[in-house]
Amino acid sequence: MHDIARSRSVPQIIVSDVDYERLTSLATAALERLPEVAQELLAEMDRAKIVEPALVPADVVRMGSTVTFRSDDGHKRRMTLVYPVDEDLTTHKISVMTPVGAALIGLGEDQSISWTARDGRRHELTVLKVEKPKPA
């Protein structure tokens, strides 16, 4: 099923080498617990252009970015992309280990991507705005 979804063109994504290392480790560790999302995140990392953190453009979603996106149901959402331990949907923090989170990483403004929800349905989202992560 993933091969069919992948046959459509997918946008180029950019990920910092720091995020790449952490996300690859996280996804590999989650392969038994969350196989679909882990495999999707690993596939995203495999196709990503890996750059130094300073070279990630300001309008590209990275860990800690707050992103406004529109889903194919017409709803606009504003979420901050975080690691699973920091997920808190009441404060609009979404884990990269969710189907939407894995789809968002590395996308730039005005880019769209299809993703598969946990119920197996296909969706599409478009990034409208990316706010850089706040320094820790």
103-134 pLDDT per residue, tens = 999 999 999 999 888 788 888 999 999 998 87
Query: Residue 77, class by beta-carbon neighbours within 10 Å (0-12 exposed, 13-18 middle, 19+ buried)?
Result: middle
Helix (H) or strand (E) holding 93: strand 93-95
pLDDT, tens digit (0-9, with 9 covering 90-100), for 46-98: 999 999 999 999 999 999 999 999 999 889 999 999 999 999 999 999 999 99
Structural domain boundaries in the chain? 2-131
The owner of tokens 């979804």 is 5
Into which CATH architecture does domain 2-131 fall? Roll (3.10)
pTM, two decimals, is 0.87
